[in-house]
Amino acid sequence: MKHLITLIPGDGIGPEISQAMMEVIKATELPITWEITPAGLSTLESEGSLIPQSVFDSIERNRIALKGPLATPIGKGHRSLNVLLRKKYDLYACVRPVRSIANISPKFPGVDLVIFRENTEDLYMGLEEIISEDEAHSIKVITRSASTRIAKAAYEYAVKENRKKVTIVTKANIMKASDGLFLESCRAVAALYPTIITDEILIDNMCLQLVVDPTRTDIILTENLYGDILSDLCAGLVGGLGFVPGANLGQDFALFESVHGTAPDIAGLGIANPTAMILTSAMMIRHLGYEKEASWIEEAIQTVYSDPNNYTKDLQGPLNTVEITSEIIKAYLALKGVS
């Protein structure tokens, strides 16, 4: 079966890391082709829109997209492009695997956790009102239906991937109505999966436990705001956002994305680190059913970074974008050859 994937290269270093990712996927020899649909600052200048209609048309045809980093102009009335896409296609589950990579994560070498973040409501709905010049309100929305479906996604993942524990993260001791509803909904789902250990923890304590010993955490199930914060915190434990993939999943569409910034200061210099984008492509092909090839990509990255001589410029190493990509491909082909 052939797969046509919408590719949004993105802004800044996006086109460079997208090219690196495509080289790795080419080496897998999987039946994947790309429909490249530019978006972001470049199309704002050329077409007057951050996301042209052609991007939406492509996503709706292909139903799976892979996206590089997009820049949202600040203070010009533009909404976050990432939030826009998540809302438009009801991509309710933000899934962020966080795993230690060889020598990149010396303080916490055994991290292997996954964050399931509800993606559609909470304070990120942007429901705000100005009461007076001295008072503003943000309205937090939590519903049983949205809470239940993200919980089901987390527990189904736990069963499929043979994970042992789901940790529900809230601040239900303070926000008894909203976070209380989220917790209640997750408990109801947890009861349907008695083989999975479930524990509950408050968001502040979760942060503490993660920086003390993140290896004790397996799956985190949480709301939108807490998930956003914990995703970046966990990325910092394993080397930063440049080493963490991400996916936004819905009933009908899937958007995989490299969640780090556009790094405009190094764009075009050929020194961008493509690791997060390559790991994101591994997530994507696993979603398509290619478990073996996805695992080989991930293992190849572990192999490459086990040698400090393979570090990229951002790690004070000697390799540029093309060179690190070549090393990953060589390691991948070696794994494929001995399987």
122 is catalytic: no
Nearest Cα residue to 206 out of 222, 191, 193 = 222
From 204, 213, 292, 307, the catalytic residue: 204
Angle at 105 between CA 308 and CA 320, to 5 degrees: 40
Measure Cα distances from 27 to 17, 324, 329, 332 in Å.
Answer: 16, 14, 7, 8
Dihedral pair phi/psi, residue 173, rounded to 5°: -70, -25
From 171, 226, 311, 332, the catalytic residue: 171
228 is catalytic: yes
Rounded to whole angstroms, how far apart are CA atoms 92 and 146? 8
Rounded to whole angstroms, how far apart are CA atoms 110 and 130? 46
Residue 63 one-letter amino acid? R
Cα 161 to chain centroid distance, Å, stands at: 18
Contact indicator for 280, 246 with CB cutoff of 8 Å: yes
From 124, 155, 157, 226, the catalytic residue: 124
Nearest Cα residue to 94 out of 287, 215, 250 = 250
204 is catalytic: yes
Q: Pairing state of beta strands 32-36 and 135-138? A: unpaired
From 122, 228, 290, 305, the catalytic residue: 228
Contacts of 93 (CB under 8 A, 6+ apart): 116, 117, 118, 119, 149, 150, 153, 247, 248, 249, 250
88 is catalytic: no
Angle at 229 between CA 182 and CA 196, to 5 degrees: 50
Active site residues: 124, 171, 204, 228
